[in-house]
Every structure is written in structure tokens, then in C-alpha cells.
A and B are shown apart, each in its own frame.
Chain A
Amino acid sequence: MIETKHAILRHAVLDTVMIMEFMYFFWSRVIIKFSAGIILMISLFAFVWAQSYLEKIGKPAYQASIFTSKKHRQLITLEANDEREWQQLLKADYLSTRIMLISLSLPVVTATMLPEFIQGSGDFGSGFFSPHIMGSIVVSLIGYIFLVKEWGYVFIYFKIEEDSQRF
């Protein structure tokens, strides 16, 4: 049996570390260019390690590959011990995706407003907002969306599980 809650939490922490490392990598390209290569290598190593670690957690009955035509086709990272947990994971996944889509409004608004802000700020703006910084802002916003999705998923699953055990 998998400790589903622990697995989800571990998953979220690992994903957060990876996202933060990638965000740091992109920002460091602006701040310290020479260390970028090393940080990228560390990030890739962390990513590979995390993937192999997740595989070691176990192969649950309801885990299915998106490349196969099994009965329960779903994301590879969803792990469950039985049908109830599986349904809860699907519900949490669905709801966290809705939250993620709502949270997309922040990057969309930022992407719309930023060019206008740069134009309005004159020479200072065009110097300060270099392509590197713009790229880093975009990457940070993408990272933010993933983090919202990941932690939304964790909190929703924990809430659903708590509700199902209350009587």
C-alpha cells in the first residue's frame, strides 16, 4: 500500500524544488551569468533524480500510462491504493486545474500590461526591462502557475480525504 498523502506531499515538494531551481536558473542568468551552466546541471540532475525516486515509490493498481489503452487512463503521476482514492485524486486534479486556469489571469494581465509599462517609463524602462529580465519574468509566471496547480492539488486532496473520514 502506498502512503498516498505522503506521496502527494513528497511529489509537491519535489516539483516545487525543481520549479524554484529553474526559476533561480533563469534569474541567475541575469544576475550571475557564469554560474548559469552549473545551476542548469544541478536542476537537470534534481529532475532526473526526482523522477527515478518517484518510480521507486511503487506501482499502484490504478496507475496508468498515457501511452497505453488501459481502462483507467490518467496522468502518470496520479497514484492511488484503491478506487476511492483514485476518484479523490481525479477530483482534486480536476479542481486544481480549474484553480490553475483562474490563476492564469495574473500572467495574462502582466503580459498585457508590461509592454505598456515599459513604453510609459521611457529610457529607464527600456534599459531596466532587458530581454533577459523579461524572459525571467515570463518563466517565473509559468513557475507560479505550476506551483498553484501543484499545491492546490495537495490541499484539495487533503480536504476531500478529511471530509470522507468525518462522520
Chain B
Amino acid sequence: MQNVINSTRKQQKLSQAELATKTGVTRQTINAIENDKYDPSLDLAFKLADVLGLRVDQLFLWGDKHD
């Protein structure tokens, strides 16, 4: 599942560690999500959307990179 967390985070001048702290996960988890290595649970997806001020469907795009 693709997402725009990396670009949105950079726009808001947030570091991975800061976003991790705000969402209650590790920096490594943010890194894994940004690089499509891990798909977060609904709970975490809503937290990320809330912190970044977007809707979940704006933050995550369903489908593989090749779609």
C-alpha cells in the first residue's frame, strides 16, 4: 500500500522520530511504513492521519506500486 507520509511529514517539517513520538510508535516503524515495508493497522493509520492533518484515504493509496 502506497502512502504520502514521507512528503507530508517533510512539508510539515517533522522528523521521523517526532512523528513516531506523536503516534506512539518507534522511528523504525515510521521508516518501514514510509518505505512500504509495513502496512499499519487501522488504529495507527488513523493516528497518523490525525497527526498529519489528513484523511486516511488521502494518506494511504490502495494498490501496489506497479498499479
> Footprint of B on A, CB under 8 Å?
1, 81-85, 87, 161, 163-167
Contact = CB atoms under 8 A, between A and B. Distances in A.
Nearest to B33: A84
Contact of A161 (B28, B40, B41): B28
A164 B32 contact: yes
Main secondary structure of the interface of A (DSSP, over half): helix
Contacts of B25: 81-84
B53 interface: no
B15 interface: no
Given A84-B38, A165-B37, 7 more contacts: A81-B26, A82-B44, A83-B29, A161-B28, A163-B37, A164-B28, A164-B32
Interface residues of B, number: 14
Contact of B40 (A83, A164, A165): A83
A164 B37 contact: yes
Contact of A85 (B24, B26, B31, B40): B26
Interface centre among A1, A84, A161, A163 (most CB of B within 10 A): A84
Complex A-B, nearest 7 residue pairs according to Cβ-Cβ distance, in ascending order: A167-B35, A82-B25, A84-B29, A164-B32, A164-B37, A81-B26, A84-B38
A24 to B, nearest CB: 38
Contacts of B37: 163-167
Given A83-B40, A83-B44, A84-B38, A165 B31 contact: yes
